[in-house]
């Protein structure tokens, strides 16, 4: 997937911000094409979606608490609500879409009522954006691959119930529901995560060691493959926990690929019930019991 920056549509002259339904184009960083009326073909409609990351950067720690929440809207529907240090991820099919930010727009919810800018989004691309701190702007700002990768390591995934109906599953997120054939399992490794986190730096030390061992075994045995299954504990909303579990599984997959495991040998599976209660009950303090830690993990099955 190519990394793209958006030259038009997310960094626009202020004069365009008042023009409703302005069409802007999303282009490669080195592109000089100014065509703003691109026709989307059937092949492009069937192409893999593009992947978006939007970050709300942390700056001066002394003023973080006073920063307003930034609501993200896709085609006039709420996708996420970001606080400083958060990020969101979603995918869109190629075509014209409105991707906008609004600061504390309740109760009028301007982002739902009146999208201002429409951008031409290409298929099968990767976009990194950051929240525009100019409260007059509704447009996130595009950043390059290096900065986007750094922000991804520094930020926390925001997990809320997205209302954005145009968002689609991202390439590589699709999972299979077929059960594991335990007769063919060679080894089992668990990858635990910290509470509410899903990034690579949120994998506990034992989990990193286990990922290394799995990669070593797979690289030494080309006939082996790995099945990745995510679990969650029984805290919070089921849908939010499900999204968090899927992101953890994707993070583990990425770490395996980074250590030389071909993507073709990594199989993502989703169990029918991803929740591991383990008999845990809520304490009076509202905190999870230690046994809930068992649910915040990804399991790797090495099979032949």
- The tokens of 14 are what? 């202020």
Instruction: Quote the CA–CA distance of 188 and 181 in Å, as a whole number.
Output: 13
Q: How many residues does the chain have?
A: 304
Per residue in 241-282, pLDDT (tens digit) is 677 888 888 899 989 998 999 888 898 887 655 555 444 554
Greatest mean pLDDT among 44-48, 166-170, 223-227 lies in 223-227
Helix (H, G, I), strand (E, B) or coil at 61: helix
Residue of 101, 74, 93, 97 lying closest to 164 (CA atoms) = 74
DSSP string, 261-284: --GGGEEEE--S--B--TT----T
At the top level of CATH, the class of 182-303 is alpha beta
Lowest mean pLDDT among 202-206, 260-264, 285-289: 285-289
Enumerate the domain spans of the chain. Answer: 2-168, 182-303
Q: Which of 83, 241, 97 is nearest to 165 (CA)?
A: 97
Using pLDDT thresholds of 50, 70 and 90, give the confidence band for residue 169: confident
d(CA 291, CA 275): 13
Work out the burial of residue 285: count CB atoms within 10 Å of its CB; fewer than 13 is exposed, 13-18 middle, 19 or more buried.
exposed
């Amino acid at each position: 997937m190519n990394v793209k920056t958006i030259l038009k549509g997310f960094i626009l002259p202020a004069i365009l911000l008042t023009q409703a339904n302005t069409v802007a184009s999303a282009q490669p960083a080195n592109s000089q094409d100014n065509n703003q009326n691109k026709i989307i073909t059937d092949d492009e409609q069937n192409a893999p979606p593009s992947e978006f990351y939007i970050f709300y950067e942390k700056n001066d720690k002394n003023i973080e608490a006073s920063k307003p929440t930034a609501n993200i809207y896709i085609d006039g529907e709420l996708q996420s609500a970001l606080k400083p240090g958060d990020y969101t991820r979603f995918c869109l099919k190629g075509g014209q879409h409105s991707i906008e930010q609004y600061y504390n727009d309740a109760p009028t919810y301007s982002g739902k009522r009146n999208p201002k800018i429409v951008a031409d989004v290409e298929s099968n691309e990767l976009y990194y954006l950051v929240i525009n701190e100019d409260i007059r702007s509704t447009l996130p700002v595009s950043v390059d691959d290096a900065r986007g990768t750094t922000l991804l390591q520094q930020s926390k995934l925001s997990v809320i119930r997205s209302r954005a109906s145009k968002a689609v599953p991202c390439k590589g997120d699709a999972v299979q529901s077929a059960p594991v054939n335990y007769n063919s399992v060679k080894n089992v490794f668990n990858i635990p995560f910290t509470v509410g986190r899903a990034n690579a730096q949120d994998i506990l030390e034992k989990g990193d060691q286990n990922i290394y061992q799995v990669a070593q075994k797979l690289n030494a045995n080309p006939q082996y493959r790995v099945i990745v299954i995510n679990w969650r504990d029984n805290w919070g909303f089921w849908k939010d926990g499900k999204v968090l579990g899927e992101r953890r599984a994707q993070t583990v997959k990425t770490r395996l690929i980074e250590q030389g495991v071909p993507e073709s040998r990594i199989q993502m599976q989703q169990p029918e019930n991803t929740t591991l209660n383990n008999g845990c009950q809520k304490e009076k303090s509202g905190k999870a019991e230690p046994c809930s830690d068992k649910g915040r993990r990804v399991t790797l099955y090495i099979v032949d």
